[in-house]
């Protein structure tokens, strides 16, 4: 797994080129809906988060068997399944045929076969990754097609900066993660973030789940100040074993900045440790991926601290086996 993270900047370059070389373009789209589960859905989460700044139309993410009723002929449904066999995603695909515009993203399996058979636009991405390790290919080719379709307006320079940041930060992010993982071992990680990084906070949590085989929790400012902040009272012994990461932007809104400061002061005595983690770069794409890089490394070094193999996800496989019976 560590080699996959080491190669993230190169994967991003190749993924951008994969999208740029595609002739897939969509027109007259009024909304975008991304359907996927687990590691295959994180690209959609990032797209939705970035759409707030870079698109004039609404984006939504569906993690379910059922197609939303608002999906129509002016909707673009992006169906993502790295394996091509995710049952919830296949159900969405079947419901959507003939109703809406569809873009499939996969590398194998039933989804790719059906897309080819029925001449539905397909991004065929490289094999050989665990789904969570293929994040570059589950995000950047879709982003490129949305850029070419004038659905999302992100500059090419922002993508180039992302590659540059990931390559430049690799060694420092790795060293940081190895050092911090020792502090986090035997703690419960809480990932708090500003709203721009809400998809990254989810990513940190799920990477810790799957790689380190550890529970984790995530929440977002300023919503957490309207409910979760009150929960920092009980159970006291458990609260002391919570390690809080706050994902931040040096250019964040001054009111959010003040909220984070006050919230940290209010819960400091109840919690274990609070650590601010700042994004790098100028563009929002680079900022998001600079934090993803750190979180991915942290999850693997935490797996090492627990002496577990980050690759297998035995409970997920056993669940799928039982569902297939």
Q: Which of 45, 112, 144, 210 is catalytic?
A: 210
Quick one: 98 exposed, middle or buried, by C-beta within 10 A (0-12, 13-18, 19+)?
Answer: exposed
Start-to-end CA distance of the chain, whole Å, equals 31
Q: Is residue 217 flagged as an active site residue?
A: no
**Tokens standing for residue 45:** 């989460």
CA-to-CA distance for 62 and 287, rounded, in angstroms? 25
**Helix (H), strand (E) at residue 305:** helix 284-306
**Which member of 91, 187, 217, 320 is catalytic?**
320
Active site residue 155: no
- Positive or negative torsion for Cα 37, 143, 32, 57: positive
Structure token digits, residue 256:
């959010």
Does the annotation mark 210 as catalytic?
yes
Residue of 27, 117, 226, 314 with catalytic role:
226
CA distance 250 to 265: 19
Asked if residues 34 and 59 have their Cβ atoms less than 8 Å apart, the reply is yes
- Tokens representing residue 287 in the block: 């900022």
Torsion-angle region of 38 (φ positive above 0: left; ψ -120 to 50: alpha; else: beta)? left
The residues annotated with a catalytic role in the active site are 210, 226, 320
């Amino acid at each position: 797994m560590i080699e996959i993270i080491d190669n993230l900047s190169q994967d991003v370059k190749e993924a951008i080129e994969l999208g740029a070389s595609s002739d897939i373009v969509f027109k007259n789209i009024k909304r975008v809906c991304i359907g996927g589960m687990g590691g295959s859905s994180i690209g959609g989460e990032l797209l939705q988060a970035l759409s707030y700044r870079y698109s004039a139309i609404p984006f939504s993410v569906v993690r379910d068997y059922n197609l939303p009723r608002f999906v129509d002929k002016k909707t673009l449904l992006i169906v993502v399944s790295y394996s091509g066999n995710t049952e919830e995603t296949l159900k969405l695909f079947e419901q959507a045929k003939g109703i809406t515009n569809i873009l499939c993203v996969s590398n194998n399996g039933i989804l790719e076969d059906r897309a080819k058979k029925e001449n539905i636009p397909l991004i065929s991405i490289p094999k050989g990754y665990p789904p969570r390790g293929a994040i570059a290919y589950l995000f950047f080719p879709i982003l490129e097609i949305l850029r070419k379709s004038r659905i999302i307006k992100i500059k090419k320079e922002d993508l180039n900066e992302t590659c540059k940041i990931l390559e430049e930060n690799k060694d420092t992010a790795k060293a940081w993660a190895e050092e911090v993982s020792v502090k986090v071992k035997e703690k419960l990680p809480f990932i708090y973030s500003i709203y721009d990084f809400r998809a990254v906070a989810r990513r940190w949590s799920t990477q810790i789940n799957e790689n380190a085989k550890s529970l984790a929790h995530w929440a977002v400012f300023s919503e957490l100040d309207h409910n979760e902040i009150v929960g920092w009272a009980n159970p006291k012994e458990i609260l002391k074993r919570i390690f809080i990461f706050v994902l931040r932007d040096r250019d964040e809104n001054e009111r959010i900045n003040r909220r984070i400061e006050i919230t940290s002061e209010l819960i400091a005595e109840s919690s274990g440790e609070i650590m601010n983690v700042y994004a790098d770069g100028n563009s929002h794409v680079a900022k998001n991926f600079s934090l993803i890089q750190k979180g991915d490394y942290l999850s693997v070094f935490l797996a090492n601290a627990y002496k577990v193999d980050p690759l297998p996800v035995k409970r997920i496989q056993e669940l799928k086996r039982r569902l297939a019976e």
